[in-house]
């Protein structure tokens, strides 16, 4: 494994979720934390890059699904893997997000070890 840590853009308006993900993922990844999809898009549009994006489904300003549609329509960002987090356990929502281009959908509450494992799998596949 290279010494260069991969970068994650995490967008969630819940401070508790931000803290759990930061505490669990910061040793392994470089993290950029934003409160909503608008902040995330602004950060990307400033020329920053992420190896993977974690987006909450329900955020103010630009929610996870809208963010997903925006990013998948962009020639610059369309290949960045996106994992959607949601307290929504409706399979229709999950299927809709996956059909719109999400690489995975993780229900809250989640086990941070499982989130990290899923991130590693997606990033590993991306390198092949």
What tokens were used for 75? 């020639």
Q: Rounded to whole angstroms, how far apart are CA atoms 53 and 75?
A: 16
Q: Tell me whether residue 48 is in a domain.
A: yes
Nearest in space to 117 (alpha carbons), one of 9, 29, 4, 56? 29
Q: Rounded to whole angstroms, how far apart are CA atoms 117 and 114?
A: 5
| Residues spanned by the domain of 105 | 7-127
pTM of the model: 0.95
Q: Tell me whether residue 1 is in a domain.
A: no
DSSP character for 6? P
Sequential pLDDT tens for the chain (128 residues): 446 899 999 999 999 999 999 999 999 999 999 999 999 999 999 999 999 999 999 999 999 999 999 999 999 999 999 999 999 888 999 999 999 999 999 999 999 999 999 999 999 999 88
Q: Rounded to whole angstroms, how far apart are CA atoms 11 and 110?
A: 16
SS3 56: strand
Q: Tell me whether residue 36 is in a domain.
A: yes
SS3 87: coil
> CATH no. for residue 52?
3.40.50.2300
- Total structural domains within the chain: 1
Rg of the chain over CA atoms, in angstroms? 13
SS3 10: strand
Q: Tell me whether residue 2 is in a domain.
A: no
What tokens were used for 87? 């307290």
DSSP β-bridge partners for residue 53: 9, 82
């Amino acid at each position: 494994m290279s010494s260069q840590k991969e970068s994650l853009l995490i967008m969630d308006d819940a401070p508790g979720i931000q803290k759990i993900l930061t505490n669990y993922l910061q040793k392994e990844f470089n993290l950029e934390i934003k409160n909503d999809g608008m902040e995330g898009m602004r950060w990307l549009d400033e020329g920053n890059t992420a190896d993977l994006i974690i987006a909450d489904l329900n955020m103010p300003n630009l929610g996870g699904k809208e963010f997903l549609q925006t990013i998948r329509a962009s020639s610059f960002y369309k290949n960045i893997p996106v994992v959607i987090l949601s307290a929504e356990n409706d399979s229709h929502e999950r299927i809709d997000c996956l059909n719109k281009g999400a690489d995975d959908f993780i229900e809250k509450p989640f086990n941070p070890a499982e989130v990290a494992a899923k991130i590693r799998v997606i990033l590993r596949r991306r390198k092949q």
